[in-house]
Chains A and B, each alone.
Chain A
Amino acid sequence: MRFITVIAAKEIRTYFSSPMAYVVSAAFLAITGFFFVASVSDAFAEASIRGYLAGAVFFMIFMSPALTMRLIAEEQKLGTLELLLTSPLREFEIVVGKFLAAFVMILLMIVLSLYFVIVLFVYGDPDIGPLLSGLLGLALYAGATLAVGLFASSLSSNQIVGLVVGSGILTALTIIDFVSARLTGLVSQILDGFQLGASFSVFDLDSFGVAEGGHFADFAKGVISVTDIAYYLSLTAVFLLLTVLVLEARRWR
């Protein structure tokens, strides 16, 4: 546990000492801000953060791998992975430490964006239930996307490869309904079960994507379901485990 904290603390410091964290936060605030404004500026618009959530869920497909792409790829490039793997650390401590650092960063960004909520309370009368469930869902979703990104980062010493592979996996999980809609029966249902978050109907400004399909929809509506929580937590766990396996395999190469 101590090693996990040490690694997480180091990575968080590194985030703040490079422009990455600032650039990504700015982009996150801009994109979610755009979605938020679009969703509340219609006449008789609903005082909810569904627009914001749709923006966040959409942008994290690219932002999460961008946050994690450096974490393991760079260690391989600098050769510092050899130091980590010859220190008395277990692979899972390295992986979990790095994951937590990225997760803290993304939570900080979400906190920064919470002024949208304040705006809602000032100018409207939002429903607190969907607001809280939406934020809980967003945190779970963020964790899952970061785990996928971290896994992608472990695959090579090239950060860009990490970004492309990570975003690729997340995009595939997002547009899985393109495939499942054209299939029938069990296969279609199984594929539907893997639907990550927003489908690309996110561009339909009426529903903001999160309203239908995917495991995020219920959170956005104010429903907290065990299935959705389990889906995001298992996705996180599976990809962190895969990352650990990739690091372990590195020893045997």
Chain B
Amino acid sequence: MIKIEHMSKSYGPYPAVIDISFEVLKGEIVGFLGPNGAGKTTTMRVVTGFTPPTSGDVTVSGYDVVSHSLDVRRHIGYLPETVPLYVDMTVTDYLRYMGEIRGMNRNWVKERLPKVIDMVRLGEYRNTLVGRLSKGYRQRTGIAQAILHEPDVLVMDEPTIGIDPIQVVETRELISDLGQEHTMLLSSHILPEVSAICKRVLVINDGRIVADDQPEALSAKLQHAERIEISVRGAEAPAFINAIRGLSVVIDARSDQRVSVVQRAAREKFAPFIVDARPNVQAAEKIARTVIDNGWGLTNLTPLPMTLEEIFLELTTEEDLGE
């Protein structure tokens, strides 16, 4: 649905995106991940026909963004980073207007509008002025305008930025639901968000794509250490840590700092630890045997996948080293 081939975009002498290529297939939800200023918004602006690329080819639904810009714009729903709303219109008026400038006729708007308002759960605010809505509801109004004209492709730039945590969860659920029926390109610099919503992640840094894979595959590929969470009963922390560190497969072992002091006190007998081990050497098995040989009770042993934060740091620091 979205096909980008060797696309570059410069603002004057400043390159924002450098020779990127990727494709988003029908029905895919692709997360676009990168620090601020990496080129996410620029790429999205090119895809939505807001700004033409400096070089390269970009097509959406088979239409070229430069030569068939109007066709592209007809098939795309876009939620820019600053949710663009007319604050002095009611939600219904705003959405009707947005529908009309997207080329929807009166009947289509009439039929579609109540459905969309239900979908984003804006029912009780349909006659409220947009300016009076809370940030989360403004975001929903923004999402509503993006999906109103039943576009083939949805492009959302940082859809959960600046809203409170509860509304973030609701917004993410809404986006996941929309993903059932739309092809979607979604940008974020919040990593867990992308891994929660998207089946595929593109990592962009300094205008270049540095990774393109499933979130799980990314962590597998980049994992230099196997991280294991382990809880044991009846072990003194220093004794346990010393015993585990003595194993050749183990890089490091430490108390799990992720739980609070209070929690740790309550779980004294089941002290949680984090162990980093060399990959692919059956470290878990060896650790388990050590625990049992020492007469401690093994209550939990879970391999932890690497988080996207770590992958991200890994990718972007490697990039820096390469330069």
Contacts and interface: CB of A to CB of B under 8 A. Distances in A.
Interface of A: 3, 6-7, 10, 13-14, 17-18, 78-90, 251-253
B84 A80 contact: yes
8 contacts: A7-B101, A14-B89, A78-B86, A82-B45, A84-B101, A85-B50, A86-B48, A89-B101
Interface stretch (B24-32, B73-81, B166-174, B245-253): B73-81
B222 to A, nearest CB: 35
A interface SS class: helix
B51 A251 contact: yes
Contact of B51 (A79, A90, A252): A252
The 8 residue pairs across chains A and B that have the minimum distance between CB atoms? A79-B84, A80-B84, A79-B82, A88-B74, A6-B100, A86-B48, A88-B73, A83-B84
Q: How large is the interface on B (under 10, 10 to 19, 20 to 34, 35 or more residues)?
A: 20 to 34
Contacts of A3: 100-101, 103
Given A86-B50, A87-B73, A80 B78 contact: no
Interface of B: 11, 45, 48-52, 70-71, 73-74, 76, 78, 80, 82-89, 93, 97-98, 100-103, 145
Contact of B76 (A6, A13, A86): A86
Contacts of A82: 45, 50, 78, 80, 84
A7 B102 CA distance: 12
Contact of A6 (B52, B70, B87, B101): B101
Given A86-B50, A86-B78, A253 B145 contact: no
B156 to A, nearest CB: 13
B188 to A, nearest CB: 19
A50 B49 CA distance: 51
A17 to B, nearest CB: 6
Contact of B88 (A17, A79, A87): A17
Contacts of B76: 86
Contacts of A6: 97, 100-101
Contact of B52 (A13, A78, A84, A252): A252
A78 B84 contact: yes
Contacts of B83: 79
B274 to A, nearest CB: 44
B50 A18 contact: no
